Amino acid sequence: MRVKALLGIVLIWAVSVLPVKAHALLDHAKPDVGSTVPSSPSEIALWFTHFLKPGHCTIQVRDAHGKEVDKKDSHCDDKDKMLLRVSVPKLSPGTYSVTWHVTSDDGHVTRGKFKFTIGNPVDNVLAR
């Protein structure tokens, strides 16, 4: 009985000290993925499911014509190690795409893309 208990403890310890391999997946964003917001945000903020590796993460924001419109200052937050931010100037009504590329602190690379719209989507279509 003691041998089984000891083996159980050793097994639990061995599993608990194995390195955890995880990918930093997008958890949520501001503006929300696929959302329509009434006015231009001052920044795009992305939260991930794993700590990020500073200096190895980027966000790009592009307008409907593919022009990059962010301020090219994407950076990991100093306090929240799962938060990536980029500043944007006052953006005009329209649809914007956000492309991100991140490396988690364990070295795994992930990337993704989503869109959000500023203003009324119907008004944006009529303005074209």
Query: What are the structural domain ranges in the chain?
Result: 21-126
CATH number of the structural domain 21-126: 2.60.40.1220
Dump the DSSP string for 19-37. Answer: PPP----EEEEESPTT-EE
C-beta separation of 31 from 41 below 8 A: yes
How many C-beta neighbours within 10 Å does residue 100 have?
A: 23
Dump the DSSP string for 64-102. Answer: TTS-B-S-S--EE-SS-TTEEEEE--PPPSEEEEEEEEE
Instruction: Place 37 in a pLDDT band, splitting at 50, 70 and 90.
Output: very high
Q: Calculate the average pLDDT of the chain.
A: 86
Taking only the tens place, the pLDDT of each residue in 52-101 is 999 999 999 999 999 999 999 999 999 999 999 999 999 999 999 999 99
Per-residue pLDDT at 10: 45
